[in-house]
Amino acid sequence: MQGRLAGMKEHEIAAAVVNAAYKLHTGMGPGILETVYEVTLAHELRKDGIRFDEGFRADLIHSLQPVHSRQVLTYLRLTNKRLGLLINFGEADNKNGIKRIVNGLPEEPAAF
């Protein structure tokens, strides 16, 4: 991670990502191919000074399943990260398509 992320806490990074995802979902709506959301979200985050050097991403999925949460938790443990987000742009209401996954991080109220 680069850019303005250097001094940010996990919750602040998550809030920036969720805000960008919300703007994207509001502007584009649900049902577009995953790769379009992925490229557009990355572009929006770069415009905000946020760049991720590495990351895990799921192949096309149509709904969030319990296995996806376990998969993200495994990725967090392997990379020694503490917070991950599952975002499903296919939901009609973006709030229903976002799930926080925590690895040893005290839960704070979501700012989104």
Q: Which two tokens stand for residue 75?
A: 């990725």
Tally of domains in the chain: 1
Q: How much is the pLDDT for 105?
A: 62
> In whole angstroms, how far apart are CA 94 and each of 19, 24, 33, 87, 105?
10, 10, 16, 8, 24
Over residues 14-67, the pLDDT tens digits come to 898 899 999 999 999 888 888 888 889 888 888 888 876 655 565 556 677 889
Distance (Å, rounded) from C-alpha 110 to C-alpha 112? Answer: 5
In a domain, 112, yes or no: no
In a domain, 111, yes or no: no
In a domain, 109, yes or no: no
Phi, then psi, of 37 in degrees rounded to 5? -60, -45
In a domain, 110, yes or no: no
In sequence order, the 6+-apart residues with CB closer than 8 A to the CB of 60 are: 33, 34
In a domain, 35, yes or no: yes
In a domain, 74, yes or no: yes
Q: How much is the pLDDT for 73?
A: 92
Domain that holds residue 71: 2-102
Q: Is the pLDDT of residue 1 over 50?
A: no
- The pTM (predicted TM-score) of the whole model is 0.73
